[in-house]
Chain A
Amino acid sequence: MDLLQQIINGLTIGSVYALVAIGFSVVYGALGLVNFAHGDILMAGTFVTYGLYSGLHVPIVLAAVAGILAGIVLAGVVEEIAVRPVLKAHLLIPMMTTLGMGLIIRNVVELKYGSGTLPFPSFAGSGFYTVGDLKIAKAAIATLLVAILTLVVFAAFLRYTKAGFAIRVVAQDMTAARLMGVPVNRTIMAVYGAGGALGVIGGLLYANTLEVVYLGMGFPILLKGFAAAIVGGIGNLQGALLGGLILGILEATVGPSAGSYRDAIAFVLLIAILLVRPAGLLGARVQERV
């Protein structure tokens, strides 16, 4: 039963990682680029919700929507300023420019909220449901439900909407997409926006689970989301989901015995996967065109 309990806890946090990983993977799949501002964008979006919800007592749903919108806008701005102009440059350049944008975003949030840890009351209320021996936090249930809902909505968005179709086309072949009249620039913007939205939702759920927000929260979420994306096979959405859940469960089961090295689990998993299967669990090896 203890193990089951841990697995449920793992699934909860894992679904958060999965959301962030999918946000990451969408961007990576479309552009082959990592957005190093992703962590700061989701942190900033979460803080927007926090400010409205705790400070101004705006209803949580409205506050969350505002936070997600903020994430979309920020991601769009990062894309416009730091990615679009250097899309064809060396891989290193967009990585660095997004890093720079992340520093700026983080500094702005720090000016407003400082670098301390702030309480974020879980929007599901505190307390537990008990099922047999299992104690499941209400926050965890809320997290799991929202995460699953988001994933389903996002999958439907990719599959059934025109914008989603454009994203998949651009991911296949940007040049061909442009030639076929797909509005590539707008699609890239949409990709970043979607990534930002998923990131903020992940950030909110993370805050909801831990019941705190803090300036540095983007960093561990980013790292673990990134690790989950790679473990599953970056650019592959099912893989990202799988990677997130695996990572969450590993952390919950192995974590307690790892003590203060708990945060290292993600990396050990990551390094192991990369050494054994660099394309990730579900990723396919692609031959670079020469």
Chain B
Amino acid sequence: MTALLPEAPIFKATGVGCRFGGVIALDSVDFQVGPDEIVGLIGPNGSGKTTLLNVLSGIYRASSGSLEIDGKPSRFKSSRRLSRDHGLARTFQNIRLCPSLTVRDNVLIGMHSGFRWYDALWTGGRGSRERRSVERVEEILEFVGIADKRDEIATDLAYGDQRRVEIARALATNPRLLLLDEPAAGMNPREARVLVDLIKRIHDEREIAIVVIEHNMNVVMNTASRVMVLDAGLCIAHGDPKTVSSDPHVLEAYLGKRFRDA
């Protein structure tokens, strides 16, 4: 199992816990991502997967444990710094798009991680920088396959397309590590297959490390090189996809004790 761990992880979490009042969302989890990995994160609902992602991306504060990014402690870094300085990007389980902006403007928000607010003062928004951003966004929209919807209001799109807008927005930050929270939720099997393809292409062509939370096992099995299973805030299994999916603890977590030996 340890043999699977990356040698020089981008991100390393040791014993992270996160609690909300009395709820222990994460108990103590060790987690690493290497630069050329796709890590799958599975587990029953409420097991703390989203919380882990939120802690990693600086949206929640871990209540215990240590977090390192690029070898530097990151437990108290804001999501802005993680995005801007360390190339961390993510999507959200409950799609979060700006409801009044077009697809293109939504994706352009991703470009802001490279901007400083005072840049606007001398470019007035028309500078070559804004033009370059629009070009880059155009390229990203092509890449994820929603270029034809660029001028539509983002929240008017179908569910699957909205998820892809989120991925495009995350890609626009020019990330090294991309965290995807249930990207296939609400997609039909055909869309899910296209998504698998997209995730692989993001990883291969753009050399971005990926962490993907997913309930759709097709997606996980076909993309992840390593899978971690969470249950009740603890890691209960960890390893390559095939072994993990037949691990007795995992069966128990998903189906209950009775089925473990069935």
Contact = CB atoms under 8 A, between A and B. Distances in A.
Interface of A: 284, 287, 290
A118 B96 CA distance: 52
B20 A290 contact: no
Contacts of B59: 290
Given A290-B59, A290-B60, 7 more contacts: A284-B21, A287-B20, A287-B60, A290-B50, A290-B54, A290-B92, A290-B96
Contacts of B60: 287, 290
A287 B51 CA distance: 11
Interface string B87-107: 000001000100000000000
Contacts, number: 9
Nearest to A89: B99
Contacts of B50: 290
A169 B21 CA distance: 18
9 contacts: A284-B21, A287-B20, A287-B60, A290-B50, A290-B54, A290-B59, A290-B60, A290-B92, A290-B96
Contacts of A287: 20, 60
Nearest to A284: B21
Q: For chain B, what secondary structure do more than half of its interface residues adopt (helix, strand, loop), or is it mixed?
A: loop
Nearest to B100: A90
A177 to B, nearest CB: 18
Nearest to A289: B94
B71 to A, nearest CB: 27
Interface of B: 20-21, 50, 54, 59-60, 92, 96
Nearest to B60: A287
A290 B53 CA distance: 10
Contacts of B20: 287
Nearest to B96: A290
B51 to A, nearest CB: 9
B67 to A, nearest CB: 17
A171 to B, nearest CB: 15
A287 B21 CA distance: 10
A31 B209 CA distance: 40
A43 B92 CA distance: 45
A228 B60 CA distance: 29
A287 B20 CA distance: 8
B94 to A, nearest CB: 8
Nearest to B99: A90
Contacts of B21: 284
A92 to B, nearest CB: 12
A90 to B, nearest CB: 9
A258 to B, nearest CB: 39
Nearest to B54: A290
B160 to A, nearest CB: 21
Contacts of A290: 50, 54, 59-60, 92, 96
Contacts of B54: 290
B154 to A, nearest CB: 16
B10 to A, nearest CB: 22
Nearest to B25: A287
A287 B96 CA distance: 17
Nearest to B181: A290
Nearest to A288: B59
A284 B21 CA distance: 10
A235 to B, nearest CB: 15
A287 B50 CA distance: 14
A284 B22 CA distance: 13
B59 to A, nearest CB: 5
A54 to B, nearest CB: 50
A287 B60 CA distance: 8
Contacts of A284: 21
A290 B60 CA distance: 9
Nearest to B92: A290
B24 to A, nearest CB: 14
B192 to A, nearest CB: 24
B47 to A, nearest CB: 16
B231 to A, nearest CB: 21
B25 to A, nearest CB: 10
Contacts of B92: 290
A290 B49 CA distance: 12
B187 to A, nearest CB: 21
B176 to A, nearest CB: 22
B63 to A, nearest CB: 11
A287 B92 CA distance: 16
A287 B63 CA distance: 12
A93 to B, nearest CB: 12
A156 B85 CA distance: 54
B16 to A, nearest CB: 15
A287 B61 CA distance: 9
A140 B11 CA distance: 64
Nearest to B93: A290
B56 to A, nearest CB: 12
A290 B20 CA distance: 13
B243 to A, nearest CB: 32
Nearest 7 pairs between A and B by C-beta? A290-B59, A290-B54, A287-B20, A287-B60, A290-B92, A290-B60, A290-B50
